[in-house]
Amino acid sequence: MKVMLHEMSWTEAKEYFMKNDIAILPVGSNEQHGPQNPLGTDHLIAKAIAEETAKRTGVPCLQVIPFGVSSHHRQFWGTIYISSKTFQDYVKEVCVALNYYYVRKIVIVNGHGGNLHALMEMARELREKGIFVSIFQWWSAANKLLPDLFKPEERSHACSEETSMNLALHPHLVDMSKAVDEEPCKHTVQTEGVTLPLDTVDYTSFGVFGKSTTASAEKGKKVLEAVVIELVKHVNLLKEAKIEDLMQKPKV
């Protein structure tokens, strides 16, 4: 059975959507991930997790949306960033197009933390319109599922955890000879409780927010399997859920 929507014919898509109301949409970014990782890291990982979940659940997966909210990485070459508003509108319109074919449950596999705010705002708006959007972020799941696999300084942007995922999925795109360990620097005006409008370049020289040299394909494979199992669980729960239980509640 085909699981990628763009590989189906319209008659195959009709057959699926007449019987099912759920789909998977991966989104990511195209941004610097240190000297060792490809710019596509976030969307490539999201795509791989989404496609594997689609295969295991029979729920169709859309093509990945590769560009996201990454202007804070722009000083590092090749980062292609779009505004939060453009990203949100684009993803929303894809969801609304799915809804035209009666899809009311959409699982977004988000590969880039910077997209989360725009996605959450959109998900709340769509829930009011009768579309239930859930957002899955693999690193949040991995943190809970495999707490001891990486140290905190290995879990941040372009660090060992993310690099390990790349080594597991597409090792030919990773150059470990260029991997660095960096300690993000603290801005002179930073105190507890303050959020500053800084860019990655304010904290790092190479774009790595911690330790990346300890990455391995074995660790990446462990993360990949654990997060796919978790996402499959969610997709199956959502598949079975009654739409009225997912919609917003009336005033008390």
Binding site for Zn ion (CB under 5 A): 42
Contact between 224 and 53 (Cβ < 8 Å)? no
Strand order of the β-sheet with 132-136 is 22-27, 105-110, 132-136
> Does residue 76 come out as left (phi exceeding 0), alpha (psi in the -120 to 50 range) or beta?
beta
Minimum CB separation of residue 158 from Zn ion in Å reads 7
Minimum CB separation of residue 156 from Zn ion in Å reads 9
Long-range contacts (CB closer than 8 Å, 24 or more residues apart) made by 139-147:
139/113, 141/226, 141/227, 141/230, 141/231, 142/223, 142/226, 142/227, 145/226, 145/227, 145/230, 146/222, 146/223, 146/226
Q: Which two tokens stand for residue 192?
A: 């507890």
Nearest to Zn ion of 21, 42 (CB atom): 42
Of all residues in this chain, which one has the CB nearest to Zn ion in the complex? 42
Nearest to Zn ion of 14, 75 (CB atom): 75
Nearest to Zn ion of 159, 235 (CB atom): 159
How far is the C-alpha of 90 from the C-alpha of 87, rounded, in Å?
5
Nearest to Zn ion of 58, 113 (CB atom): 113
Minimum CB separation of residue 210 from Zn ion in Å reads 13
Residue type, 243: I
Minimum CB separation of residue 31 from Zn ion in Å reads 7
Nearest to Zn ion of 41, 57 (CB atom): 41
Minimum CB separation of residue 133 from Zn ion in Å reads 21
How far is the C-alpha of 24 from the C-alpha of 153, rounded, in Å?
31
Minimum CB separation of residue 5 from Zn ion in Å reads 25
Torsion sign, CA atoms 66, 72, 74, 75: negative
Nearest to Zn ion of 71, 99 (CB atom): 71
* DSSP code, position 30: B
